[in-house]
Structure 1
Amino acid sequence: MRTTSEPVPLTPGTILWDIAGDVRLLLSLPAALVLQVAHPAVGAGVDDHSVFRTDPWGRAERSLESFQLWVYGGDRAIEEGRRLRRLHRAIRGTDAHGRPYHALTPAYYAWVHATAFPVFLRAARYLSRPLSPEEERRLYAELLQLGAVLGIDERDMPPTPEDFWPYFDAMVRDQLERTAVAGELLDPRRPVPPPPGAGPLLRRLWPVLRPPLARLHVFVTVGLLPPVARERLGLRWTPRDERRLRRFGALVRTLVPLLPERLRFLPVARAARSAHR
């Protein structure tokens, strides 16, 4: 039996249950990742301890599956939150400025989680539909609930959306920078191998396909960053870029709802939705 002090997993009917398993998440998560690693401590932790360079596809798959468990895993979400904290205990070192860091420092761990809110809002605006003010409040409350599942103390997160934005602006202004890892993630020339299990044809075509796919990936990532973060990271964004992103978003909004469920939702979410029905 769960005690009153234990976190409560998310359930069907929440906003996160509806959006966190949609394939459009694959377009929005990279922007959140850039915000995360633009923090010097987080960027140093990824630089020193992650395999994102040597195993980019495997690293992305494991992170995505973990995130899906947070939302759709029920009691498994709580164990996944505990597992992540155990995993992060050993992640420590010195950042590019010579300052010590530890992954479980509350401010750093909370920042990683906090980046979801602005990116979810921007993704909804461009790729699905803007959330109403009431839905924004519900989403933020759900993210606080999810933070508890991950072991984030409520004192380390702003309590309301109104408190969040001054916190976010101060973090961007005073903490974020174009770290080495952020720079790599924003570089369309970053070498990425073909996906594991790619057939002979895809492997042969990969040198031709990778550059335009990489440019699109970086373009959408930069577009979904909050403007204040783009400015802080020295990223160029023109009115023409904005028009292109809006056209791309309109295409995504039109096509994704037409997909069959097996293509529209990620595997963990699809299984959870099926079990709920």
Structure 2
Amino acid sequence: GNGLTQVRSYSRWYYGHRHDALEAIGRVRKIHTRIIGTLPDGTPYRADDPALLAWVHLTETISFLDAWCRFAEPRMSQIDRDAYVHDMARIGRLLGADPVPDTEFEARRQMQRSRVMLTCDMRTDTVRDLLLDQPLSLPGGRATQRLLMQAAIDLLPFWARRLHGIPSSGPGMPAVSAATLGMARTIRWAFRN
């Protein structure tokens, strides 16, 4: 089928039936209500803050879409890309995020507007290092992990890599993308067979 069918079938597989999805969303919302704190500058925060949830939802939606388009369906139509963002918007709203974009254009515009609020400090450095150094059990071991991590880094917008001090693959980016795409195709083939 077309890209929309593939993305939607992935979403159905991941989230299960609507009832299961709503139960999971309810559990996540309950957890969010218990996460509160104060930033080092004294600013209070809550994990159920609609604007904070909107940023998390936005970055997940765009990241998943970019990864899908790069490694699964490079020619995904704009109609299907917008349909994916629209489908994800329903989940974001159920989680309490606000504002939530309904098209890819709106999502990218919202991301640009939100950049001014971003900071990088010791806490974000710690999370970055944890994510990049997390041992994974993958066929191929550490080499596969490095390849996948570099592919994920290369998906980040330039400004995000610069903010976190993470270099892209540079001239090696096409090779990293090709190797990751080949790995993704092999995994999809293995699951189909």
Do they fold alike, i.e. is TM over 0.5? yes
Alignment of 1:184-263 (within 5 A): 184-187=126-129, 192=134, 209-210=141-142, 212=143, 214-261=145-192
Number of matched pairs = 188
Q: TM-score, normalised by structure 1?
A: 0.57
Provide the identity percentage: 23
Instruction: Give yes or no for contact 1:188–1:214 (8 Å, CA) kept in 2.
Output: no
Instruction: Give yes or no for contact 2:53–2:96 (8 Å, CA) kept in 1.
Output: no
- Aligned partners of 1:241 and 1:188: how far apart in 2? 24
Residue equivalent to 1:87: 31
Shift of 1:100: 1.0
RMSD between superposed Cα atoms in Å:
3.1
Shift of 1:73: 3.2
Instruction: Give yes or no for contact 1:186–1:218 (8 Å, CA) kept in 2.
Output: no
1:19 matched to 2:10: yes
Match of 2:129, SS state, is coil
Query: Residues 259 and 99 from structure 1, CA distance in 2 versus in 1: closer, same or farther, beyond 3 angstroms?
Result: same
1:152 matched to 2:88: no
- Aligned partners of 2:151 and 2:9: how far apart in 1? 22
Query: Residues 171 and 188 from structure 1, CA distance in 2 versus in 1: closer, same or farther, beyond 3 angstroms?
Result: same
1:143 matched to 2:143: no
Instruction: Give yes or no for contact 2:154–2:173 (8 Å, CA) kept in 1.
Output: yes
- Aligned partners of 1:165 and 1:107: how far apart in 2? 16
- Aligned partners of 2:23 and 2:55: how far apart in 1? 21
- Aligned partners of 1:140 and 1:191: how far apart in 2? 30
Deviations 1:67-121 (A, max 9, x none): x3xx223212112211211111110111233311111111001111111222122
Gaps of 5+ in 2: none
Residue equivalent to 2:50: 106
Shift of 1:133: 0.6
Higher helix share: 2
Match of 2:45, SS state, is strand
Shift of 1:224: 1.9
Q: TM-score, normalised by structure 2?
A: 0.79
Matched AA of 1:108: L
After TM superposition, the structure 1 stretch with the greater mean CA deviation from structure 2, 98-107 or 232-241, is 232-241
- Aligned partners of 1:188 and 1:144: how far apart in 2? 29
Between the two structures, name the one with larger relative contact order (CA 8 Å, sep ≥ 6): 1
Shift of 1:15: 5.0
Which of 96, 104, 113 does residue 170 from structure 1 map onto?
113
- Aligned partners of 1:151 and 1:233: how far apart in 2? 28
- Aligned partners of 2:82 and 2:134: how far apart in 1? 38
- Aligned partners of 2:153 and 2:56: how far apart in 1? 18
